[in-house]
């Protein structure tokens, strides 16, 4: 990269590519200029078109055939670098011991698009999803170049088969969605008129847990409320729960076909584009998008998404599947969350730590009134 481009680059004058490639840098700058304002990335990724002598944790090395490189691919990963194997409409990222496989369209500008989305602060696997959703010339069309047509997004490959029947649908806009620690809380909250709740009980003896879930299901039926059970899908199925909420790590453990056949609704957690595509593969009842803000209720695998990303996810998925915003949401920020167009917000401490839970619930429910 020459001195002039370093001074004028909207990407901070970093060496985006190795070896330096002026044409790719110019394309990346052109694309980045049309993607809007995003906080500067704290991870200065460098896309390597050929393998550097010494790979480092900021390198994404692009190769056409992993088998051709054999041992170096493993060594690069040990050194902290990522490897993207890209050819014939397929791109697979190997990073941090994980494998992210995508099948889609590789535009001529997919590599500079990847650089631009990385600069927007997206993790490599999410930036790769967006790069495969990019089409040459998108930066010249319309006022907003951000990919928002789901039909153009890639598919995640290598996933277990989805159940033959899709999961039963939830209402399109689930409204206020308290996530609660005990059956006592569930009974209290549905008694206040809340129609969607979740029991998230992580530790309990098996017998006690079964009794808690049965109480929650009974409370839901008594108040015509939709009760989801977090994680414990077998007990939820046995108790006849309305729905189950699972994290991405649970998808390989649960009998999804059995749940779908029983009419149990399924909610899935997601933390970015790659996990959203993974969730959609299983045709769930709703997709949870988070964490929107910092939260202390659980250890999160990713940094907070923020409102700008949430708005992008809603734009992509509105009308496709019911959406739930989750993570650090309280009465104060709820109006900003709902302004993104999402039809449901999950809350935890905003209810369980409220001075007057009934007043807090009433105030938040008013926010969902058209």
Residues comprising the binding site for Mg(2+)?
A: 231, 250
Q: C-alpha angle 154/319/174, rounded to 5°?
A: 120
For the beta carbon of residue 343, count every other beta carbon within 10 angstroms.
18
Instruction: Output the six-digit token pair for 62.
Output: 């692009």
323: which strand partners? 287
3-state secondary structure of 37: coil
Instruction: Output the six-digit token pair for 2.
Output: 């020459």
Instruction: List all residues 6 or more positions away from 73 whose beta carbon is below 8 Å from its beta carbon.
Output: 63, 66, 83, 94
Instruction: List all residues 6 or more positions away from 196 whose beta carbon is below 8 Å from its beta carbon.
Output: 174, 175, 176, 177, 225, 226, 228, 344
Give the C-alpha separation, 23 to 38, whole Å.
24
Q: C-alpha angle 45/49/53, rounded to 5°?
A: 80
The annotated binding site is made up of 198-202, 230-231, 250, 269, 295-298, 328
Provide the phi-psi class of 327: left if phi over 0, else alpha when psi is between -120 and 50, else beta: left
Tell me which H or E stretch contains 127.
helix 124-133
46: which strand partners? 59
Decide if 301 contacts 324 (C-beta within 8 A). no
Decide if 170 contacts 226 (C-beta within 8 A). yes
Sheet arrangement for strand 17-18: 17-18, 46-48, 59-63, 82-87, 90-95, 98-103, 155-156
Decide if 312 contacts 148 (C-beta within 8 A). yes
Q: C-alpha angle 290/294/298, rounded to 5°?
A: 75
Using only the alpha carbons of the chain, give its radius of gyration.
22
Instruction: List all residues 6 or more positions away from 258 whose beta carbon is below 8 Å from its beta carbon.
Output: 237
């Amino acid at each position: 990269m020459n001195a002039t481009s370093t001074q004028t680059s909207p990407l901070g004058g970093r060496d985006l590519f190795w070896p330096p490639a002026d044409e790719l840098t110019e394309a990346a700058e052109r694309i980045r200029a049309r993607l809007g304002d995003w906080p500067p990335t704290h991870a200065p990724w460098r896309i390597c078109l050929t393998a550097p002598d010494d790979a480092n944790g900021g390198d994404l090395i692009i190769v056409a055939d992993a088998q051709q490189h054999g041992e170096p691919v493993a060594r690069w990963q040990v050194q902290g670098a990522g490897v993207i194997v890209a050819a014939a409409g397929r791109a697979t990222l190997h990073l941090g011991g994980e494998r992210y496989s995508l099948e889609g369209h590789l535009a001529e500008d997919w590599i500079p698009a990847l650089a631009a989305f990385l600069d927007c602060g997206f993790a490599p696997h999410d930036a790769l999803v967006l790069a495969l959703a990019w089409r040459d010339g998108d930066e010249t069309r319309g006022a907003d170049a951000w990919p928002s047509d789901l039909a153009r997004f890639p598919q995640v490959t290598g996933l277990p088969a989805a159940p033959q029947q899709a999961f039963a649908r939830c209402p399109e806009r689930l409204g206020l969605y308290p996530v609660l620690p005990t059956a006592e809380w569930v009974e209290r909250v549905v008694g206040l008129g809340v129609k969607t709740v979740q029991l998230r009980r992580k530790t309990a003896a098996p017998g006690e847990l079964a009794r808690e879930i049965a109480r929650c299901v009974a409370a839901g039926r008594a108040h015509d409320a939709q009760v989801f059970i977090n994680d414990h899908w077998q007990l939820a199925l046995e108790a006849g729960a309305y729905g189950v909420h699972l994290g991405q790590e649970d998808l390989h453990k649960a009998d999804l076909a059995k749940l779908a056949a029983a009419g149990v609704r399924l909610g899935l957690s997601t933390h970015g584009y790659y996990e959203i595509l993974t969730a959609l593969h299983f045709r769930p009842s709703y997709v949870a998008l988070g964490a929107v803000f910092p939260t202390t209720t659980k250890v999160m695998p990713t940094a907070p998404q923020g409102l700008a990303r949430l708005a992008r996810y809603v734009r992509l998925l509105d009308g496709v599947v019911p959406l739930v915003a989750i993570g650090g949401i309280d009465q104060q920020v709820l109006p900003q969350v709902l302004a993104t167009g999402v039809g449901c917000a999950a809350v935890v401490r905003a209810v369980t730590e409220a001075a007057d839970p009934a007043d807090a619930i009433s105030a938040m429910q008013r926010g969902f009134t058209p």
